[in-house]
Amino acid sequence: MAWLPLESNPDVMNKFLTNLGLPNKWQVSDVYGLDSDALAVVPRPALALIMLFPSNDKYEEYKKQQEDEIKEKGQKVPDDIYFLKQYVHNACGTIALIHSVANNLDQIRLGDGHLKQFLDDSIPLNPEKRGELLQNALGIINTHKEIAQEGQTEAPEPTDPVNFHFVAFVHKDGDLFELDGRKEFPINHGSTTPDNLLEDAAKVVRQYMERDPDDLHFTLVALTAATV
């Protein structure tokens, strides 16, 4: 199964989330850089940082190394963190948005719609079952299909190779978590606070860039308070 890839474009993502029931007080905003000046202009509060990055052999190698290390050493992961496994090709943009919203339901009051229904149905499930449920969530699938064709670039065919991947960074119980549906589990990147989420997530993004210095195709957006 393959979907059209979602563009890393706040206009596209906002329309997608609004159609799924996200209230207007929240929006996806551009993040133009990792330095303190660029992060300072991002609307606050910022609930999540979403990164689009090159998905290549370097990513796959580090992913395996990271997972093996965590399996050996262990990590702290709260029971109530919402993590969804990715089984659908090109669904990573939608999954990053779901991760961003689902782990901030203490602040986001979703309106009735496809996303609220999906979360109500999937929160009691494990990450694997959540991923399976998404494969049959027709409301989300059809909304994704409609919105994915509205970006600034021509949408590829669902089966075309797309060498980019979305992940989300969220705060949970005093720690920064990277949520990547293609990894085996959430990745704990150490302590953070809601106020410092963007700055601490930016440090992890820099590590991604340093591991792949020849590829500059990184894009960042954040789920934030709306500015109007």
The residues annotated as belonging to the active site are 92, 165
Report the candidate in 199, 170, 189, 192 with the shortest Cα–Cα distance to residue 107.
170
3-class SS at 8?
A: coil
Signed CA dihedral, 190, 177, 227, 36: sign only: positive
**CA gap 25, 101 in Å, rounded:** 13
Report the candidate in 34, 26, 35, 49 with the shortest Cα–Cα distance to residue 178.
49
**CA gap 94, 74 in Å, rounded:** 28
Residues present in the chain in total? 228
**CA gap 185, 181 in Å, rounded:** 8
What letter does residue 66 receive in the DSSP assignment?
Answer: H
DSSP 41-60: TS-SSEEEEEEEEE-SHHHH
